[in-house]
Amino acid sequence: MSHVRTLAAIVALLMVNHTYAKPCRAPDAASVPPAPALEPEVHDKLSHTELVNINVPLREFREWFLKAPLETLLPGTQKVPSVVGTSGIGSPTFPAPGATRFVCLADGSGAVERVVSSEPGKFSYVVWGYTLPAAEALLYGHGQFEFSETGQATAVRWTYSFRLKGDGFPGFLGPIGRTLFRWSFLDSVYADFMRSGMQAIKVGAERAAARPSS
């Protein structure tokens, strides 16, 4: 029962959504924790996917998507904090592969994000170094956007995977721990967060495409 209470506490803290009033500042490069080694073979074991169709041609959409401020793409929900800003760490600069930045959340916490790949039909990134104490169970998160052209529109597929630490709860429980995390957070609370983001992306891209060219 103690592990169940611990998981409930993790989820409750991850769901806190306060207002972040401070400027978004990245930590010193020297204090950024090393990027974790990605383990693609385990991503499917703890992932969630959302789809949306955007009425903007692929090339135009991708150009807009890579330039849009992250805080306009991830407005958050009542249970997951919104992104309120980003701050670059070193070079190269976003959205080039290897670009690293600190992402500030509305509750005052944050995490480090690095671009893994940026291709015409795919954009992927890894997130780690969470400052939220409740995220101690997470080794990293891996996000991947896939784009495909459907006539004059763009189909967007967003898959997000979490890698739990193996020496903490619930990760040390293996498949059972992943099931608990999926049920209590990934396919419920975080899925709602992803859906709100996809809706914001759709509205923002279609609104930008409708503006008269200057």
Q: What is the DSSP string of 85-138?
A: EEEEESSS-TTSTT-EEEEEETTS-EEEEEEEEEETTEEEEEEE---SGGGGGE
Mean pLDDT of 204-212: 92
Here the CATH number for the domain that contains residue 105 is 3.30.530.20
pLDDT tens-place string over residues 105-127: 998 999 999 999 999 999 999 99
Mean pLDDT rounded to a whole number for the chain: 88
Structural domains in the chain (count)? 1
- Which domain does 50 fall in, by range? 2-210
